[in-house]
Amino acid sequence: SGRIANRLGFYGTNCIVDAACASSLAATDLAVRELTLGKADVVISGGVQTVGSPLTHVCFSTTPAMSPSGISRPFDEKSDGMMVGEGLGIYILKRLSDAERDGNKIYAIIRGIGSSSDGRSKSIYAPEVEGQARALRRAYANAGYSPDTVELLEAHGTGTKAGDAAELKALVKVFQERGRRDHQWCAIGSVKSQIGHTGAAAGASSLVKTILALQHRVLPPTINVTEPTTTTDVPNSPFYINT
């Protein structure tokens, strides 16, 4: 980040954020704060993951997270883990009023960001439903609108049984809290079915996918889903897995 600031002549804060799989979105959170506080007028943010070496695969293979079949199947009944991917996602952020004033092409607007940690729990491989629900509630409160108006959701969706189940349960919990009782109004998917889990760039790749979906007015499908997961009652939830 220091070299980028040097080559491009930037004078604001430059830093690398390490929040594991959440790194790029944690960096985006910091970028939005810089803009909100008026400490910067333009911020380049995103994520980079370029460590798909044999050692990386060997290390992940010793955990229950890696897919022995070698196929990333987020939210599928036969999902058996994640695949490691590499990626780079970069975006330029400005305050909306400044972008409109400067005549910039605006691809999407970030209305709000929420984050959380699970606190004391079993394992970093066993995410807590309430921890994720807390982040979602904070995001929608910050954005100023209700989740029951959302019709497209890009999930973390790694393809691990525990991770996908916890994420779906948290989403169902938060999306149903406002009392909407009809079913399957929101398409859900994960770009990891196409490019694998890009680690520090995971959030950036998901955000870029969602921005492109808005730009092209398309609900992008998720591949490798032949039988939707039964760990959560998807047909009676707010979500359908868009294939």
Residue of 57, 156, 186, 216 marked active site: 156
Determine whether 21 is an active site residue: yes
Q: Which three-class secondary structure string do you get for the chain?
A: CHHHHHHHCCCCCCCCCCECECHHHHHHHHHHHHHHCCCCCCEEEEEEECCCCHHHHHHHHCCCCECCCCCCCCCECCCCCECECCEEEEEEECCHHHHHHCCCCCCCCCCCCCCCCCCCCCECCECCHHHHHHHHHHHHHHHCCCHHHCCEEECCCCCCHHHHHHHHHHHHHHHHCCCCCCCCCEEEECCHHHHCECHHHHHHHHHHHHHHHHHHCCCCCCCCCCCECCCCCHHHCCEEECC
d(CA 229, CA 46): 31
Contact 202, 154 (CB under 8 A): no
Which tokens hold the place of 163? 């991770």
Question: CA of 121: how far to CAs of 63, 127, 170, in Å?
Answer: 18, 8, 16
Which active-site residues does the annotation give?
21, 156, 197
